[in-house]
Amino acid sequence: MEFPFQLPPQLRESEDPIVTITAESLRPPRSHSGLSRNWQDMNTIIDEMGAASSKAQKLPQIITSAERLLNSNHRLYLLRDLRAPGCNVLGLIKVGEKKLFLHDEMSRMHEKTPLCVLDFYVHESCQRTGLGKLLFDYMTVVESVEPSELAIDRPSHKFLSFLGRHFGLNAPLEQANNFVVYRSFFSNKVTTSSRLEASNMPACNSQNSAVTTHDDSSQGRIRKPPMASSMNPPSRYARGANQMKTSSGLSAAMGYMPAAR
Ligand code: ACO
C-alpha cells in the first residue's frame, strides 16, 4: 500500500524491511528536531493498513489502529518495500499476550497466557508470494516462540491454510473464545507457563473477541459467539527487543534481498 508521503522516522531509521512498532514508537520525541517531522504519518499507515486487514477478513470492526496500539502492549511488525522510492507498506502482523482459558483435546481446561497472533495481513497485490512467511518467521524469532506455542485469534481460512502449509499445523482446536491452538500447544509447558508467571491479572473478556457479529464467510475469520477470557498482561517485550539487533542478518537469511535505494 503506497502512501503519499515520505517514510516516517520510525520506518526511516531502520534499514530492514520489517520494523517493530509499539506504543512507545507512536509517542513523538519531545525535541522539535528534524526527527519528529512527519512522526504522525506512522499513525496513518497503521490506521490504513489496519482498515485494509479488517476489510480483507470481512471483520465488522477495525482491530488494528494507532489508537489501539497506543493503549496496549502489543507489538506490530510492519513489512515495507525497500525497493520503493517512497513509502510502500506490504504487510503487518500484530501480537500480544493474553490470559486465556483453553481446552485441550481431552476437553480439560487450562489457564494460560500465550503469545497470541491478533492480526495478520499481506497486501492483496503480493499475497501468496512468501511475504506472509517472511513476516511470521521474523516475528517468531524476535518473540522467541514456536508456531505451535501461539494462540491465534479468530484465524481466517487463509491463515489456517498458511499454518498447515508452512508449519504442518493441522486439526486446530477451536476454542469457545474464538481462539485456536494446536495439540502440541499443551505439550509445551515452558513457554506458556513462563508467560503466565509474569502476570497475576485475572482473566476477563478479550478486547478483540468482544465483536459480536458472526461472520462465517469462507474468506473471513472463523467466528463463534464471544464467551471468554483474556486480558493483556504486562509487557514482556524486552527479551525480543534484544534480538532485534540481529534483524539485518535475519532479513538477509530469509532471502529478502532489498534492492539498492
Ligand atoms: N487461499 C487459501 N490459502 C491461502 C491464500 C488463499 N487465497 N492465500 C494464502 N494462503 C495460504 C496458503 O497456505 C498458501 O500456500 P499455497 O500458495 O502453497 O497454497 C500460503 O498461505 C502462502 O504463504 P505466504 O505467501 O507466505 O502467505 P501470504 O503472503 O499470502 O500471507 C496471509 C498469508 C497473511 C494469510 C494473507 O493471505 C492475507 O493477508 N490474507 C487476508 C487476510 C487474512 O486472512 N489474515 C489472517 C487473519 S486471522 C488473524 O489475523 C489472527
Least confident segment among 10-14, 233-237, 242-246: 233-237
| Region for residue 128 given its phi and psi (left: phi exceeds 0; alpha: psi -120 to 50; beta: otherwise) | left
Question: Is the shortest distance between the CB of 72 and ligand 1 below 6 Å?
Answer: no
**For the chain, what is the mean pLDDT?**
79
| Higher-pLDDT residue of 1, 259 | 1
| Higher-pLDDT residue of 12, 45 | 45
| Chain-centre distance for alpha carbon 244 | 16
Per-residue pLDDT at 221:
61
Per-residue pLDDT at 195:
53
| Higher-pLDDT residue of 41, 234 | 41
Question: Is the shortest distance between the CB of 137 and ligand 1 below 6 Å?
Answer: no
Q: Which of 53, 64, 159, 209 to mutate to test the pocket of ligand 1 (most atoms within 8 A of CB)?
A: 159
* pLDDT value at 196 more than 60: no
Question: Is the shortest distance between the CB of 161 and ligand 1 below 6 Å?
Answer: yes
Classify 90 as helix, strand or coil.
strand
Read off the pLDDT band of 37 (50, 70, 90).
Answer: confident
Question: Is the shortest distance between the CB of 140 and ligand 1 below 6 Å?
Answer: no
Classify 209 as helix, strand or coil.
helix
| Higher-pLDDT residue of 229, 138 | 138
| Higher-pLDDT residue of 50, 5 | 50
- pTM score of the predicted model: 0.81
Residues in the chain: 261
Residue range 5-20: average pLDDT? 89
Read off the pLDDT band of 230 (50, 70, 90).
Answer: very low
Ligand 1 atom showing the smallest separation from residue 121 Cα? 39
36 CA to centre of ligand 1 in angstroms: 35
* pLDDT value at 8 more than 80: yes
Read off the pLDDT band of 241 (50, 70, 90).
Answer: very low
Model confidence pLDDT, tens digit, residues 43-81: 999 999 999 999 999 999 999 999 999 999 999 999 999
* 52 grid coordinates: 485494509
Question: Is the shortest distance between the CB of 127 and ligand 1 below 6 Å?
Answer: yes
Question: Is the shortest distance between the CB of 212 and ligand 1 below 6 Å?
Answer: no
Question: Is the shortest distance between the CB of 237 and ligand 1 below 6 Å?
Answer: no
Q: Which of 128, 174, 221 to mutate to test the pocket of ligand 1 (most atoms within 8 A of CB)?
A: 128
* 28 grid coordinates: 513523538
Could you give the residue ranges of the DSSP H alpha helices within the chain? Answer: 9-12, 23-26, 41-56, 66-70, 131-143, 157-167, 189-197, 238-243, 247-253
* pLDDT value at 258 more than 50: no
| Chain-centre distance for alpha carbon 230 | 16
Read off the pLDDT band of 219 (50, 70, 90).
Answer: low
**Rounded-to-10 torsion of CA 125, 139, 136, 112:** -130
Residue range 28-39: average pLDDT? 70
